Amino acid sequence: MSASGSVPVVITGMGAVTPLGDSVSSFWDSLIAGRYAIAPIKRFDASVFQFGEGGEIPEFELGGRAGAVVGRDDRALRFAAKAVDEAWSGSGLSNEGLLDEVAVVLATNFGSVELSEAALTGGPCSGRDRSGLGFQAAADAISRIWGFGGPCVALSLSCASGAAAVGYGMDLIRQGRCRAAVCCGYDAISRFAWSGLCALRTMTKDRIRPFDLNRDGTVFSEGAGAMVLEAADSAAARGAEIHAELLGHGMNNNAFHLAAPSKEGEGLAAVMRMALHDAGIKAEEVSHVNAHGTGTKHNDVSETLAIKAVFGRHAEKVAVNSIKSCVGHVMGAAGSLEAIATALSLREGLIPPTMGLVTPDPECDLDYTPNAARKLDARVALSNSSGIGGCNSALVLGRHKA
């Protein structure tokens, strides 16, 4: 039983919109195959920027109720709506008459800021142009489209947003504030976001190579990852398909620096311990860590040190990976997509590879599942996320015992 001693929570629906595929199955197949999502940016003139490659999603049709509501120009919300649609449809909850007991938790770094570029530059603009400036409007739209009447919340913890959405949704269920929660992390690449991400100087002109000796930065992508979480007894009672169990989570801050991780990874180690304590799980029960693994010099070393600090000698037996090596860093969606990948790893008994890892780094000396997917009979896994401002989030997932 978890530290909070409350309602067990399970995952009954998942949805993904990514540069590697616009469904969970295509996303997962691409991860296992080690496909690389990154290409020259086409949507705007990236030649003016220092870095010009990222993971873009081509235009797609958004059908159904969402398509009637979400404008074609609001790409970020289109990603979220499509991912939520897949997750909600897959959960089977739509027929259960529970809408007032379903929460929505949306999380993002930049929201629909692309809509508001004209407004932000001080030029003439309409109300619609300004509508992207607050994030809650997107959460409200998702609630309205599907009729959810439970808590409806937008949160933002930079690149820990997606994982934080899952953790907060879990807490809403455990605290009895709802019976199910639709949790979605999402972000779109825009000129504004791209200019700022370039200014942070964390990107590489090479491919992203998490934990590799010659790594020199990350690459950014866009997309959305959605999960439907449900109280375990509710899911079991209706015979739902359960993808994995959510055992615990943690969110914290390094309290060190706005833009740099602490060198020894103390904050990330602390959030992993927080999540394990919340889950009531000992470190040695964990077989797999889906790392934040951004491919920057600092993050990968500090994360390695954090994993060692938490797991001790057991760290040598843990299969670590970074799916950012394939899909890129999907910003506000990273944590939720990585949670989906972790859930699938437990369900399928298969760990996606860390691609691009060709030269080992003596400072990063754990098993990072290099270059090929691997079978792993894991019962418990952990997924890490960190973000600007020193935010960290960790999720503990368990294989569902049918």
Partner 1 sequence: MSRRVVISGIGPLCAVGAGREYFWDAMKSGGRAAADSRIINGRKVNVISLRNFSAADYLESRKTYLDRTTEFLLAAVSLALEDADLDLKKEDPERVAAVTGSAYGCLSTMAAYFQDFAAKGPRFVKPILFPHAYANTPVSVLAIEYGIKGFHCHFSAGEAASATAISYAYDLVRDGRADVAIAAGSEALHDLVFAMHPDSVIGEGAAALVLEDLDRALGRGISPLAEVLGCGLSCCGADPGRGMEDATVRAMRRALKAGLQMPGIFLPSYAPHSGFGVSELSAARVLSGGVSWQTLVLADFLGNTFGASGALQATAAALFSADTGSTALVSSVSPGGSVASIAFGPLP
Computed over its alpha carbons, how large is the radius of gyration of the chain? 19
CB closer to partner 1, 128 vs 314: 128
Among 36, 146, 186, 368, binds partner 1 (CB under 8 A): 146
Return left, alpha or beta for 356; rule: phi > 0 is left, psi -120 to 50 is alpha, else beta.
left
Q: Rounded distance, CA 320 to CA 300, Å?
A: 12
- Is residue 389 involved in binding partner 1 (CB under 8 A)? yes
Query: Catalytic annotation on 288?
Result: no
Residue 63 tokens read as 């059908």
The CA-based diameter of the chain, rounded to the nearest angstrom, is 60
- Pick out residues in 216-255 that bind partner 1 (CB under 8 A): 250-255
Among 29, 71, 73, 200, binds partner 1 (CB under 8 A): 200
Minimum CB separation of residue 390 from partner 1 in Å reads: 6
Q: Among the options 243, 249, 288, 292, which is catalytic?
A: 292
Q: Among the options 288, 329, 364, 391, which is catalytic?
A: 329
Per-residue contact flags (x/-) with partner 1 for residues 274 to 313, judged by CB under 8 A: x---x-----------------------------------
- Is residue 359 involved in binding partner 1 (CB under 8 A)? no
Residue type, 338: E
- Pick out residues in 160-179 that bind partner 1 (CB under 8 A): 164, 168, 171-172, 175, 177
Q: Which helix (H) or strand (E) holds 106?
A: strand 102-107
Minimum CB separation of residue 133 from partner 1 in Å reads: 6
Q: Rounded distance, CA 244 to CA 380, Å?
A: 10
Among 92, 94, 99, 264, binds partner 1 (CB under 8 A): 99
Q: Rounded distance, CA 72 to CA 67, Å?
A: 9
- Is residue 9 involved in binding partner 1 (CB under 8 A)? no
- Is residue 156 involved in binding partner 1 (CB under 8 A)? yes
Residue 185 tokens read as 């992390």
- Is residue 186 involved in binding partner 1 (CB under 8 A)? no
Residue 176 tokens read as 């009895």
- Is residue 367 involved in binding partner 1 (CB under 8 A)? no
Per-residue contact flags (x/-) with partner 1 for residues 255 to 274, judged by CB under 8 A: xxxxx-------x--x---x
Three-state SS at 7: coil
**Which residue do the tokens 């500090």 mark?**
302
Minimum CB separation of residue 335 from partner 1 in Å reads: 13
Q: Rounded distance, CA 310 to CA 308, Å?
A: 5
- Sequence-ordered list of residues with C-beta below 8 angstroms from that of 199, at least 6 positions apart, any chain: none
Query: Catalytic annotation on 159?
Result: yes
Among 7, 23, 49, 264, binds partner 1 (CB under 8 A): 49
For residue 11, the number of C-alpha atoms closer than 13 Å in the C-beta half-sphere is: 32
Catalytic positions, written as ranges: 159, 292, 329
